[in-house]
Structure 1
């Protein structure tokens, strides 16, 4: 099975100036664990995860004043829709990631998460839906 079969094609995007509280509220409403951060000034595409927000709050930082750009991973490992799920899982394990941004033609086409891969590999389960709720956790 390929990444294109497992990934969510509905991707939450936020800007670098969003506060962490705004990003968290959007992620919660969409029931996703990561957002793509589009920041042309910082090299284009990054990712902000629930763990990034949790780490900031855990350090005592204020989610109403902390901006997404300060917590975005910009050294992103991107997946291709044509990768196998094994390749994606290997990249996640090697980098310690739970989400990979999927690029197609240089543009974000989706996100694949560990949960998406597990859904595909678990017996009797269907591949992840492309609805916004498919990227929880």
Structure 2
């Protein structure tokens, strides 16, 4: 199976000037754990995850004041649609993250989460590949 078989093609995109509260509300409404951060003044994309928001709250920061741009991850590992799910899962394990932005031809075409990988593997095989357990 490939990344394109499991990724979500409906991507939540937000800007770096959104507050963390607004980002959290958008993520909650869409039932997603990550948002792609698009900044026309910066190179490339970033990602804001549930963990980024949780860490800021745990640090006592105000989600109505804090901006996404100060909390996003910029150094990303991007996946391509033709990677195998094993390649994507291995990249997630190596990097210690739960989401990959999927790009093709320089454009964002999806987001792959650990949940997506597990959903597809368990649906198609009833198990997780042994090399990842």
State the Cα RMSD in Å. Answer: 1.4
Matched, 1:69 2:69: yes
- 8 A contact 1:92–1:100 mirrored in 2: yes
Q: Separation in 2 of the partners of 1:18 and 1:37?
A: 10
The two structures have a TM-score, normalised by structure 2, of 0.91
2:101 maps to which residue?
Answer: 101
Structure 1, unmatched stretches of 5+, are 126-137
Q: Separation in 2 of the partners of 1:78 and 1:29?
A: 25
Structure with larger RCO (C-alpha < 8 A, sep 6+): 1
Closer/same/farther in 2, CA of residues 51 and 4 from structure 1, 3 Å limit: same
The two structures have a TM-score, normalised by structure 1, of 0.89
2:21 maps to which residue?
Answer: 21
Closer/same/farther in 2, CA of residues 15 and 4 from structure 1, 3 Å limit: same
Q: Separation in 2 of the partners of 1:35 and 1:113?
A: 11
Matches within 5 A, 1:1-137: 1-123=1-123
Structure 2, unmatched stretches of 5+, are 126-133
Question: Larger Rg: 1 or 2?
Answer: 2
Q: Deviations over 1:45-66 (max 9, x none)?
A: 1100000000000000000000
How far did 1:84 drift?
Answer: 0.2
